[in-house]
Chain A
Amino acid sequence: MVNRIKQFFIQIGELSYFSSRFFKETFNLPFEFKELLRQCYQMGNRSLVLVVMTNFIIGLVLTLQSRPTMIQFGAVSMMPNMVGISIVREIGPVITALICAGRIASGIGAELGSMRVTEQIDAMEVSGTNPFKYLVVTRIWATTLMIPLLVIFGDLIALYGSALVENLKGQVSFQLYFNTVFDALSFGDLVPATVKSFFFGFVIGLVGCYKGYYSKKGTAGVGIAANSAVVMASLLLFVVDFIAVFVSDIFYEI
């Protein structure tokens, strides 16, 4: 037990050092723009279908599940407002980030882990290339920039799923639905949700890279790196979400 607690704090310390090294290396020349663009394309493209599918289903299910209760309280006309605010503020960013934690963090963990155990990272270093800059910095920036885009896209898809249910079950037109949603939303809903999705992206990239870059114990270590990257990233996402909600509550009174 004591050993586990000790290991936990060691990991927190190592992760802090890893992130400080990321910021330091970010501003060192040369910038790896080509690799950054490649990673952005890979990560955005690889996760798009999954994000679309899950958010569409979330939008559908949320509306279907809430509808009977809203009818019971005679508040079915408030449906777009309720679904819109909950998706944009919380459900959209968190679901998208969790999906990406499963897809991207594990992918990065496994990729860098296998590069570590097959000495590809060492080969890069020996050839005079900074592997941290080439592999880690580009991946963390790619997730930090791509997750907010995926969140915005996922939100729109979830709202479309919800609008579809309202259209089929409540004869509400798409135009009326989206007008009501956008009337209900304010900057206080959009800005904190967008800002926190940048942090979600950062956490996903950071944890994936950290677990993969320091992967040990041969090929078994690759599996461990991928698995623990997902677990740690998912857990940290909730911590970041709590802090983000807490801080945004100070600036935008809910």
Chain B
Amino acid sequence: MPLLASKDLKQTKNDHSRKVVIHIRDLRKSFGSNHVLNGFNMVLHQGENLVVMGRSGSGKSVMIKCLVGLMTPDSGYIEVMGKEIATLNRLTLDELRLDIGFLFQGSALYDSMTVRENLEFPLRRHKKKLGVVQDTAPLVPEALENVGLGHTMDLMPSELSGGMKRRVALARTLILKPKIILYDEPTSGLDPITAKEIIELMRSIQKKYGTSSLIITHDVDCARVISERMILLVDGINYAGGTFSELSSSSDPKVEAFFKK
């Protein structure tokens, strides 16, 4: 039986103080006989940091990919910034994607381009839509300075460490000034110190730009520091929801398993 899930949903729906930016209802996705998502529900409010936690292979990444149209769900309803994803054509979906930043698990920097070119790539392509009439070049150093990597501009991604790659990817995400940022395992594969730096960076970005953040992780430390609210994804459903302290003090064995050291 799902724990706290329905209570959590009622709470968020009644939270009228903040606008809903993402609404997922009864999301289902299967790969053959493997049912990854079995009716997942979620609401993200404006300016909120929501953490979705789950074991590896629990469907977290699938859910986040359905959210930006990289995967098509079998059924369910996904609404982002008031627009239903399933009804959008390619052009309108691309327009909507300008408001959504996505930090990939492996950073996904284009390895045939330098750091500068990586950042210029989305910028050049959306110059008109973003209303950037002047030269885009000064925006790149500014974005890199924001993540503390102003000196890496002419390096290739292969010359960067894992943490630096993650920061550059974050700078590339921020350069389009998105309203929502989706983080897919932002600290996975990083040492504890670098992971802490990335988390701090995420917090400072949220404060500075007031973005709404959806963080997919299985890192408890990351969830503790950054989350305002959490959802535990178990067996393809939101098994439990609440604040970090509520969930970490739960006596439910499935919830407890996440927080046990």
Could you list which residues of chain A lie within 8 angstroms of chain B, going by C-beta atoms? 111, 114-115, 118-120, 122-130
Contacts and interface: CB of A to CB of B under 8 A. Distances in A.
B173 to A, nearest CB: 9
B166 to A, nearest CB: 13
A101 B65 CA distance: 34
B102 A126 contact: yes
A114 B68 CA distance: 22
A129 B70 contact: no
Given A119-B106, A123-B104, A128 B111 contact: no
Nearest to A122: B70
Residue from B68, B108, B109, B121 having most chain A Cβ neighbours under 10 A: B108
A31 to B, nearest CB: 13
B61 to A, nearest CB: 10
Interface stretch (B7-15, B93-101, B200-208): B93-101
A119 B125 contact: no
B122 A118 contact: no
A129 B125 contact: yes
Nearest to B129: A128
B77 interface: no
Interface in B47-102: 65, 68, 70, 90, 94-95, 97-98, 100, 102
B125 A127 contact: yes
Interface in B139-161: none
Interface of B: 65, 68, 70, 90, 94-95, 97-98, 100, 102, 104-106, 108-112, 121-122, 125-126, 172, 176
A123 B110 CA distance: 9
Nearest to B104: A119
Contacts of B172: 127
B76 to A, nearest CB: 20
Nearest to A123: B108
Contact of A120 (B90, B97, B108, B176): B108
Contacts of B95: 128
Contact of B100 (A114, A122, A124, A126): A126
Contacts of A114: 111
A123 B105 CA distance: 11
B106 A127 contact: no
A127 B176 contact: yes
Given A119-B104, A119-B105, A119-B106, A126 B70 contact: yes
Nearest to A125: B70
B104 A128 contact: no
Contact of A127 (B105, B112, B122): B122
B108 A118 contact: yes
A126 B202 CA distance: 19
A126 B106 contact: no
B41 to A, nearest CB: 23
Contact of B121 (A115, A127, A130): A127
Contacts of A130: 90, 94
A113 to B, nearest CB: 13
A44 B186 CA distance: 40
A127 B97 contact: yes
Given A120-B111, A122-B70, A128 B106 contact: no
B114 to A, nearest CB: 14
